[in-house]
Amino acid sequence: MTEIDEGAVRAEVRAWLEANWSPDYGLVEWRRKLAESGWGVPHWPSRWYGRDLPVGLVPSVEEEFKRIGAIGVAKVGIRTLAAATILEHGTDWQKEKFLLRILTGEDIWCQLFSEPGSGSDVAGAVTRAEFRGNQWVVNGQKVWTTSAHKAHWGLLLARTDWDQPKHRGLSYFILDMKQPGVTVQPLRQMNGYASFNQVFFTDAKVEPEFLVSDVGNGWAVTTTTADARTPRRRRAAQLGNSLRQVGPHL
């Protein structure tokens, strides 16, 4: 494999920024242009808004953004976990629908894993998703959910098979948070703020194309989401450890 020269990468991104960056752009307009150039997430696949660069060169690209004062793509919050998960497990349709709007920051995301009574045992989820007719129907409750009151989309782990061991009976969905079957209630803290929410599902609907990966593969997908939280330099090593730890459950 040909080694990629850091100096050449710096020169290329610097030239592109000098030719294209302007503070007069609207935020979404600029981020869309940046995403389509591949320089917003250069370590992503070139087919999906990246440039196939090694992750080790990302800091060099980011330094060129700082040098010129250019704004990057949206990289804060659960949207980064959603992007990593969709890139790894999503269908082409899901990537086309969600990835660009993640990078522009147009959509807000939340993570729907934790449940009352389960503590840190995410695999003990009892929120259920049943396939009725031609769609999934979700009932249950999630808790400690950041940004649920603002989110457009949620990363949902739900039980789809009660006859399987708990890790194997889970499936992973992208859920529309603005539909009638979703109720969000803030969890008020002693200081008066409500950083977290509880979320109730009452016959919430999920179309089949919003299932991520296969039915029953939710735990493997969840591992990817959890791993995306780790700092970039530790990610590869910790992913290997996580897969070894959960391997017996898959």
Q: Tell me: the pLDDT tens digits for 172-204?
A: 999 999 999 999 999 877 676 777 999 999 999
Mean pLDDT score, 91-97: 98
The residue ranges of DSSP E strands in 160-212, in sequence order, are 170-176, 182-187, 196-206, 211-212
Kindly report which listed range (107-116, 190-199, 234-243) carries the lowest average pLDDT score. Answer: 234-243
Angle at 76 between CA 156 and CA 52, to 5 degrees: 90
Same domain, 61 and 115: no
Same domain, 118 and 50: no
**Among residues of the chain, what percentage have pLDDT more than 70?**
89
C-alpha atoms less than 13 angstroms from C-alpha of 66 in its C-beta half-sphere: 6
Identify the band that residue 239 occupies on the pLDDT scale cut at 50, 70 and 90. Answer: very low
Predicted local confidence at residue 229, as pLDDT: 81
Same domain, 52 and 119: no
Same domain, 46 and 158: no
Predicted local confidence at residue 237, as pLDDT: 43
189 to each of 4, 185, 193, 195, 196, how far by Cα in Å? 50, 13, 5, 8, 9
For residue 102, being part of any structural domain is answered with no
Tell me if 39 sits within 8 A of 46, measured CB to CB: no
Higher pLDDT, 139 or 240: 139
Last residue of a domain, one of 68, 89, 119: 68
Instruction: Please give the Cα distance from 213 to 156 (Å, whole number).
Output: 13
Mean pLDDT score, 66-92: 97
Burial classification of residue 19, based on how many CB atoms lie within 10 Å of its CB (0-12 exposed, 13-18 middle, 19 or more buried)? exposed
Same domain, 128 and 230: yes
For residue 80, being part of any structural domain is answered with no
Instruction: Please give the Cα distance from 190 to 61 (Å, whole number).
Output: 43
| Highest mean pLDDT, choosing among 28-42, 177-191, 222-236 | 28-42
197 to each of 170, 185, 194, how far by Cα in Å? 23, 6, 7
25: containing domain: 6-68
pLDDT, tens digit, 9 for 90 and up, residues 208-226? 999 999 999 999 999 999 9
Angle at 86 between CA 50 and CA 245, to 5 degrees: 110
Position 106 pLDDT exceeds 70? yes
C-alpha atoms less than 13 angstroms from C-alpha of 89 in its C-beta half-sphere: 25
Position 231 pLDDT exceeds 70? no
For residue 91, being part of any structural domain is answered with no
For residue 81, being part of any structural domain is answered with no
Across the chain, mean pLDDT equals 90
For residue 89, being part of any structural domain is answered with no
Phi, psi dihedrals of residue 59, rounded to the nearest 5°: -60, -35
**Amino acid, single-letter form, for residue 161:** D
Position 241 pLDDT exceeds 90? no
Identify the band that residue 110 occupies on the pLDDT scale cut at 50, 70 and 90. Answer: very high
* Number of domains the chain contains: 2
What b/e sequence results for 24-38 when a residue is b if at least 16 CB atoms lie within 10 Å of its CB, and e otherwise?
ebeeeebbbbbbeeb
Predicted local confidence at residue 246, as pLDDT: 42
**Among residues of the chain, what percentage have pLDDT more than 90?**
82
For residue 201, being part of any structural domain is answered with yes
Tokens of 223: 């591992």
For residue 79, being part of any structural domain is answered with no
Same domain, 134 and 215: yes
Q: What is the 3-state secondary structure (H, E, C) of 2-53?
A: CCCCHHHHHHHHHHHHHHHCCCCCCHHHHHHHHHHHCCCCCCCCHHHCCCCC
